Amino acid sequence: MSLQNLISGKELSKIILTKIKDQVTKMVGEKPQLVIVQVGNNPASNKYIQHKLRACEYTGIIGTHLVFPETISQVDLEKQIITLNQEEQVHGIIVQLPLPKQIDEQRINEIISVTKDADGFNPATLGKVVLNTSTIFPATPAGIVKLLEWKNIELAGTNVVIIGRSNIVGKPLANMLINKSATVTVCNTKTKNLQEIAAKANILVSAAGSAKLITPKFVNENMTIIDVGANFVDGKYCGDVDFESVQPLVKYITPVPGGVGPMTIACLLENTLTSFKNQQIATKN
């Protein structure tokens, strides 16, 4: 089986991280700092945070891991974030999800300063993404756009179908691609004739979280597939695409793992670097 149509997020993320490293290495004086806030001890979160810290280490961005007890109150967590907002040496803040039940996640996202919003989850960041005036973009959609642009896949006038409408992937990605003049269709679980709609796409983004959802009937030979699924089936990590049957039938496809996942981390670090630069410009003015 030829795998020449793979879009390797592993490869592109390495290129991006190396570019960040080059810039950070040359910095004289202060370096960018990303603070990762964790509440409790979720095993999946531990793993994701380790990946993020390792990427920080590679690039020279200072990665700081703050862990608060599972029982922390809303008020106390907010206070911690407000403190981080005020610390001049902190340039990016992320609060690792999921959060325990007593914490209002939306409120936490609203409190993180727009100038340090490395995840891009603050409503004001998202609004600017919609208006095309933001320099920070939610990391997963940003990674997807970079993968498409890396392969010189035309976006203007292109039919893009996005399956899934989450706040962190489907909706921001749709707005970003609309701003790039794509014709964008956003589908959800209530969509009728999903298969028919998908099969006409030039670019199909599946962020449904449903293993083997995308079968050969959903695709065409000119299609680029971006698989955002992160599913576990029989202990094996896989995307939304029935990869073995679909991969030979399409023009381009991202693998899982090694596709969108590593791009998310690279874009998170790029956001941190951008926030660092924005803050330096703001201080000079």
| Choices 27-35, 38-46, 52-60, 127-135; region in contact with a second copy by CB under 8 A | 127-135
178 part of the interface to a second copy, by CB under 8 A: yes
Among residues 50, 71, 89, 106, which is the contact residue for a second copy, using CB under 8 A? Answer: 106
Known binding residue 165? Answer is: yes
192 part of the interface to a second copy, by CB under 8 A: yes
| Choices 31-39, 59-67, 145-153, 174-182; region in contact with a second copy by CB under 8 A | 174-182
Known binding residue 230? Answer is: yes
Q: Report in angstroms how near the CB of residue 83 gets to a second copy at its nearest.
A: 22
Q: Report in angstroms how near the CB of residue 124 gets to a second copy at its nearest.
A: 4
Site for a second copy in 214-233 (CB under 8 A): none
Among residues 191, 220, 278, 280, which is the contact residue for a second copy, using CB under 8 A? Answer: 191
Known binding residue 245? Answer is: no
What is the residue whose two structure tokens read 């993320």?
13
| Choices 181-189, 220-228, 266-274, 276-284; region in contact with a second copy by CB under 8 A | 181-189
Known binding residue 13? Answer is: no
Q: Report in angstroms how near the CB of residue 194 gets to a second copy at its nearest.
A: 8
With beta carbons less than 8 A apart as the criterion, state whether 99 and 108 touch: yes
- Strand pairing category for 159-163 and 183-187: parallel
Other residues' Cβ atoms within 10 Å of the Cβ of residue 170:
22
Q: Report in angstroms how near the CB of residue 109 gets to a second copy at its nearest.
A: 8
Q: Up-side HSE of residue 108: CA atoms within 13 Å toward CB? A: 27
185 part of the interface to a second copy, by CB under 8 A: yes
Distance spanning both ends of the chain, measured CA to CA: 57
Among residues 69, 98, 123, 216, which is the contact residue for a second copy, using CB under 8 A? Answer: 123
- Count residues binding a second copy (CB under 8 A): 35
3-state secondary structure the chain: CCCCCECCHHHHHHHHHHHHHHHHHHCCCCCCEEEEEEECCCHHHHHHHHHHHHHHHHHCCEEEEEEECCCCCHHHHHHHHHHHHHCCCCCEEEECCCCCCCCCHHHHHHHCCHHHECCCCCHHHHHHHHHCCCCCCCHHHHHHHHHHHHCCCCCCCCEEEEECCCCCCHHHHHHHHHHCCCEEEEECCCCCCHHHHHHCCCEEEECCCCCCCECHHHCCCCCEEEECCCEEECCEEECCECHHHHHHHCCEECCCCCCHHHHHHHHHHHHHHHHHHHHHHHHHC
190 part of the interface to a second copy, by CB under 8 A: yes
Peptide bond into 32 cis (omega under 30): no
197 part of the interface to a second copy, by CB under 8 A: yes
| Choices 55-63, 117-125, 225-233, 259-267; region in contact with a second copy by CB under 8 A | 117-125
Among residues 128, 212, 251, 277, which is the contact residue for a second copy, using CB under 8 A? Answer: 128
184 part of the interface to a second copy, by CB under 8 A: yes
List residues binding a second copy (CB under 8 A).
Answer: 106, 122-128, 130-131, 133, 156-157, 159, 165, 167, 170-172, 174-175, 178-179, 181, 183-192, 197
Annotated binding site for NADP(+): 164-166, 230
